Chain A
Amino acid sequence: MKITLRIIWLTFMGGTLGTLARFVIGDFTGQLLGLVLVNTIGAAALGWFNGDKRFDTPEQKAFWAVGLAGGFTTMSGLASAIVTWQQLIGWQVFGMALALFISGLASYYLAFSVAQERGSK
């Protein structure tokens, strides 16, 4: 993707909205449930955007995929939770984090496959 001013602006707008949505969900649900929700839903959303041909232009990718889905999900929040919870429950926190990683991969793949399937009809 060639980075133009328009692409930067769209990424910024998507990132701003994604971050605000993550902030609101985290505020309502609490840290742990919030992290599970935003990362699983965000991975599924990116799977949909990447699988659906209507989102295949650089502008659509910049806003929806890089900006919105990228800003909605967070790896740093997850890493911070791992460190915090490691002190509370021990090393098994890495098993729980791995389960979240796998559920993120599954939700991405599922949404990607459904979007591709719908596009081919």
Chain B
Amino acid sequence: MSYLSPWIILLVGVAGGVGAVLRLYASRWNGKLPWGIFSVNVAASFVVGFAANAFAGNQDAEADLVLWASIGALVVVGFAGGLSTFSSYAAQTVEFLRKRQIARAVINTALNLLITPLAVWCGALLSPALLK
């Protein structure tokens, strides 16, 4: 991706900042599990699957390749990467373990490990239908 212009790279960072602010709001939704963080992880994974499939079909010429790589970097690396987080999952799961809430730690891990790839797959599967 080093062929992207410095401006695009800066915009990738800004998109990540926007994602982080949305995550800040979502993180307030907590119940027996950290549902807010789990939700943004699933939503961001869906966006990644959707974008990867949508942009893959739009790379005919070299100019298009750079354009779609730029948009892909903005959406996938920037926005979705900034929206989702692994470190908060780790913090919340370690906190469950320290409080001896083993079931919650296991369920939180299983949900993040299994549902986020499923969301990527659903995003890729639904993108042709949603882009019609």
Interface residues of A (CB under 8 A from B): 3, 7-8, 11-20, 22-23, 26-27, 38-39, 42-43, 45-47, 50, 62, 66-67, 69-80, 82-83, 86, 94, 97-98, 101, 104-105, 107-109, 112
Whether A12 contacts B18 in the complex (CB less than 8 A), given A19-B77, A66-B24, comes out as: yes
State the CA gap A76–B117 with chains docked (Å).
8
Chain B: which residue is nearest A39 at the CB level? B86
Compute how far the CA of A3 lies from the CA of B117 in the bound complex, rounded to whole angstroms.
31
CB proximity of A39 to chain B, nearest CB, Å: 4
Contacts of A78 in B (CB 8 A): 86, 116
B23 touches A66 (CB 8 A): yes
Check B112–A75 contact: CB distance below 8 A. Answer: yes
Bound together, the chains give a CA A67 to CA B24 distance in angstroms of 8
**A73 to B107 alpha-carbon distance, docked (Å):** 21
Instruction: List residues of chain B with CB within 8 A of the CB of A13.
Output: 17
Within 8 Å CB of B86, what residues of A?
38-39, 42-43, 73-75, 78, 104
Q: Which of B22-36 contact A (CB under 8 A)?
A: 23-25, 27-28
Find chain A residues with CB under 8 A from B69 CB. none
Contact A15 B94 (CB under 8 A): no
Q: Provide the residues of chain A in CB contact with B114, threshold 8 Å.
A: 94
Residue of B nearest to A97 (CB): B113
Q: How far is the CB of A5 from chain B (nearest CB, A)?
A: 11
Taking A39-B87, A74-B81 as given, write out 10 further A-B residue pairs in contact, using a Cβ cutoff of 8 Å, ordered by the A residue number. A7-B24, A16-B82, A19-B82, A47-B91, A67-B20, A73-B86, A79-B41, A80-B52, A82-B120, A83-B117
Per CB-CB distance, the 7 closest pairs between chain A and chain B, nearest first, are A19-B16, A15-B20, A79-B116, A16-B17, A73-B86, A76-B44, A46-B87
